Structure 1
Amino acid sequence: MLLLPVLWWPTALLALVLFGDAAMSIRPMKFIQVCLDGVRFPREWWWTLVVIKLLATVGLIAGLAIPGVGFAANIGVVVYFLAAVYSHIRAGFLKQEFWLNCLGMLVLSVGVLLISYWI
């Protein structure tokens, strides 16, 4: 395992996707609202998801130059989406938002981790 990504572009792609996700979460689109309501996440806490995603974006980008930071940020993103999967399963909300958004982002973040740090 390396502390800097072997390939920079998967990490940059994940950072871009997370930034877009954070931007869409500022004024949540309908599918995001349905997802958060479906897992019964309190509306007064929705802002925390924007902060978490923006911090992860910064960590991923910083990790392109600072050893260990990107790896830690990528692990954090994986854990975030594992928690989201757990929340969906626990709430019994296994609709399209779960399969496309939640699992899709988990697969992307795990894929980036494997490609960037274990090639």
Structure 2
Amino acid sequence: MTVTPDPWWPQAVLAGILVVDAAMSIRPPAFIRACLNGVKFPEDWWWTLIVIKLLAAAGLITGIYVAGIGVAANTGVICYFLAASVAHIRARFLTSEFWINCLGLLVLSTCALVVSYGPGL
């Protein structure tokens, strides 16, 4: 069984959103700063989130062409946003940043997985 996305475009959309998110995180606007500070994520480590998002986007794009890579990358993105959700809940930082950004991207990444890979999984 080969696991390639059909349709492929949800993976490309998710990758694009992650690239934009990573680019915004280089000089984080107020809502990203509030989010990271709200969960008490050390500022010295903010750069790691940029790397993670760019690697995830690369995995999603690669997975359009290479069987198995995309489903693994998409699952990793879901795990990333699950971990972010847990961090928000543990810190009791449940503002609009949590509901819109964190949970919104968790839902989007889950939908991308189901739409692109659902029948093959």
Query: Are the structure 2 counterparts of residues 115 and 5 from structure 1 closer, same or farther at C-alpha, using a change threshold of 3 Å?
Result: same
Number of the residue aligned with 1:9: 9
Distance (whole Å) between structure 1 residues aligned to residue 32 and residue 2 of structure 2: 35
Task: Give TM-score, length-normalised by structure 1.
Answer: 0.98
Number of the residue aligned with 1:52: 52
Number of the residue aligned with 1:18: 18
Report the Cα offset of residue 112 of structure 1: 0.2
Number of the residue aligned with 2:111: 111
Number of the residue aligned with 2:93: 93
Distance (whole Å) between structure 2 residues aligned to residue 47 and residue 10 of structure 1: 26
What do you get for the CA RMSD once the two structures are aligned? 1.0
Distance (whole Å) between structure 1 residues aligned to residue 70 and residue 21 of structure 2: 18
Number of the residue aligned with 2:81: 81
Deviations 1:15-51 (A, max 9, x none): 0000000000011111000000000000000000000
Q: For the Cα contact (< 8 Å) 1:19–1:57, is it kept in 2? A: yes
Structure 1 moving runs of 4+ over 3 Å: none
Task: Give TM-score, length-normalised by structure 2.
Answer: 0.96
Report the Cα offset of residue 2 of structure 1: 5.3
Identity value in percent: 61
